[in-house]
């Protein structure tokens, strides 16, 4: 079964980046060719912080497989 897809639109440029549900926002932006500041690559340092203007985000599953 294919992943659900969604889109990321940056403001004020209105640039649109498609993404799959299995990707992080950072992965989708980088796959689309955007160089986005992300020092730690996990959202801990806050460098890549962004504001959600519309839509919703599902909480990330941070559990580790056994």
Closest CA to 24 of 3, 2, 54, 1: 3
Of residues 2 and 32, more confidence is placed in 32
pLDDT at 66 over 60: no
Split at pLDDT 50, 70, 90, the class of 6 is: confident
Residue 54: what pLDDT? 87
pLDDT digits (tens, 9 = 90+) for 10-62: 989 999 999 998 888 889 999 999 987 888 888 788 888 888 888 887 776 65
Instruction: Return the pLDDT at 1.
Output: 45
How far is it, in rounded angstroms, from Cα 64 to Cα 66? 6
């Amino acid at each position: 079964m294919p992943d659900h897809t969604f889109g990321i639109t940056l403001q004020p440029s209105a640039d649109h980046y498609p993404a799959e549900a299995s990707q992080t926002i950072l992965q989708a932006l980088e796959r689309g060719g955007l160089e986005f500041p992300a020092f730690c690559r996990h959202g801990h340092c806050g460098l890549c912080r962004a504001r959600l203007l519309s839509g919703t985000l599902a909480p990330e599953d941070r559990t580790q497989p056994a």
